[in-house]
């Protein structure tokens, strides 16, 4: 399991939202808040064994398996939208789709983890009817 690095996710969101110049400082602050809001939502809904920790800078990582990077990325985009950042031209109507994808992604995470726990708890014995010859 590899963690999700924060800096590459930030750079991808800069491109997605077309941010440059003087607005970078505000966007960086909003990005950190958006990651933390997505982390909070994942912690509440995904029933993780170990809670994800909030970030304080663009350095480091989020301790989430990289196979769920799309879920975190969607949550960050959604929260950036809700905080007032606007995506590149043509993507203005994304909020309802992002909400659905984020919640569905967290639900998928929950069921992945549930199934892993079930597999770990299951017995290898086969239960059958005794005395049948």
By CB neighbour count within 10 A (0-12 exposed, 13-18 middle, 19+ buried), where does 109 fall?
Answer: buried
- For CA atoms 16, 22, 25, 27, give the dihedral sign: negative
pLDDT at residue number 126? 44
Q: Which band of pLDDT confidence, cut at 50, 70 and 90, is reported for residue 92?
A: low
Average pLDDT, the chain: 86
pLDDT at residue number 12? 95
Structure token pair of residue 17: 């939202």
pLDDT at residue number 76? 97
Structure token pair of residue 57: 């800078």
């Amino acid at each position: 399991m590899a963690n999700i690095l924060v800096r590459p996710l930030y750079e991808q969101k800069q491109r997605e939202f077309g941010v440059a110049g003087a607005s970078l400082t505000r966007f960086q602050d909003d990005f950190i808040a958006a990651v933390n809001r997505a982390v909070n939502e994942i912690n509440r809904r995904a029933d993780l064994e170990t809670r994800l920790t909030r970030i304080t800078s663009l350095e480091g990582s989020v301790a989430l398996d990289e196979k769920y990077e799309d879920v975190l990325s969607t949550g960050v985009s959604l929260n950036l939208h809700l905080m007032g950042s606007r995506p590149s031209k043509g993507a203005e109507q994304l909020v309802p789709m992002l909400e659905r994808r984020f919640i569905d992604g967290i639900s998928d995470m929950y069921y992945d983890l549930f199934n892993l726990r079930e597999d770990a708890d299951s017995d290898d014995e086969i239960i059958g009817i005794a005395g049948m010859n």
